[in-house]
Amino acid sequence: MGKHVIVGAGQVGRGLAVLLAEQGHEVVVVSRSGSGPDSATNVAADATDQDRLIEITKGADALHNCAAPPYHRWPQEWPPLFAALLATAKATGAVLVTAGNLYGYGPVDQPMTENLPLAATLAKGQVRAKMWTDALAAHQAGRARVTEVRSSDYFGPGAGDQTPAGSRFVPPLLAGKRAMFPTDPTVPHSWTYLPDVVRAMALAATDERAWGHAWHVPTNAAMSPQELAERLCTLAGAPAPRVTQLPRWAMSAIGVASPVVRELKKTRYQFDRPFLLDSTAFETTFGIGPTPMDDALRATIAWERRA
């Protein structure tokens, strides 16, 4: 068993810490607050402090980037944070495993594979693309070992309110209430089950075949938000779902006061057209598929009803 340092105690970082501890690894979780599960050593630190992060990571087999800067401040906060993470990987030899997403591809009109160019035209996607190209350059030069695990929008236990299929979507539907969705709820979309993200991160840290490449987390066939809601409610025995698109004028009005909503308007392309993730490469390389959708939804229902 090895030592794993996880930066970030949010939805992915906390779940990853629990899984790695269950697998018998020594786990250290780094966050500004020092929060984390009881099964890990939880350290309060600023991960942009390169010297401090190197000190914490010495002797580790893997360094997991599960950080989540504020959505509207990615261009400002990701560059110094990722620079410290990559420098730490170089200095300590720990494999850098980044929890990535699909922003770097930009708008596309086909299912996304890892071979697509990182052609984002918006600042959010460009900063995520640069993170990977910088990491890959260091790997190819022999200065670090890196991998990135990319997913679509999360759903599942603990997904929270920062994802469209999270706590603003599931609880109202289970209660028989209307769920508001920011765009057309009939457009197909890929949804990645949060525990599958965690499992992919753990595997990528320990399997050398993952290093030097980006991977898509095993993800089920796309479903529109309406289809997802219908299956959720059927499995839960809840009333037929009512999913309503939030009008554009309402998004604009909310965006006056909310920088996050203003940013969401810029990335509507992810929902205005089919947004499809292809995870064939990961599934065939490692022999691991996504959790079946019905099983994932049942676990989500059970978690929400316990909360």
User: Over the chain, what is the mean pLDDT?
Assistant: 94
CA dist 278 and 112 (Å) reads 6
Q: What are 242's strand-pairing partners?
A: 178
CA dist 58 and 30 (Å) reads 14
Q: Answer for the pair 108, 157: CB distance below 8 angstroms, yes or no.
A: no
- What average pLDDT score do residues 131-160 get? 97
Residue 188: half-sphere exposure toward Cβ, Cα within 13 Å? 10
CA dist 128 and 75 (Å) reads 9
Q: What are 42's strand-pairing partners?
A: 29
Give the model confidence (pLDDT) of 72-114 as tens digits: 899 999 999 999 999 999 999 999 999 999 999 999 999 999 9
Give the model confidence (pLDDT) of 258-298 as tens digits: 666 666 667 888 989 999 999 999 999 999 999 999 999 99
In order of their start, the domains of the chain are 3-152+191-216 (3.40.50.720), 159-190+221-275+292-306 (3.90.25)
Q: Answer for the pair 207, 273: CB distance below 8 angstroms, yes or no.
A: no
Three-state DSSP class for residue 69: coil
Give the model confidence (pLDDT) of 117-127 as tens digits: 999 999 999 99
Count Cβ atoms below 10 Å from residue 52 Cβ, excluding itself.
16
Q: What are 27's strand-pairing partners?
A: 4
The token duo for 84 is: 């410290």
pTM of model > 0.85: yes
The token duo for 90 is: 């170089």
What pLDDT is recorded for position 132? 98
Smallest CA-to-CA distance from 14 within 51, 66, 59, 60 is with 66
Per mean pLDDT, which range of 153-162, 175-184, 245-254, 255-264 is the poorest? 255-264
Sign of CA dihedral 240, 226, 162, 259: negative
CA dist 2 and 20 (Å) reads 9
Smallest CA-to-CA distance from 74 within 30, 109, 14, 123 is with 123
Q: Answer for the pair 73, 121: CB distance below 8 angstroms, yes or no.
A: no
CA dist 201 and 215 (Å) reads 10
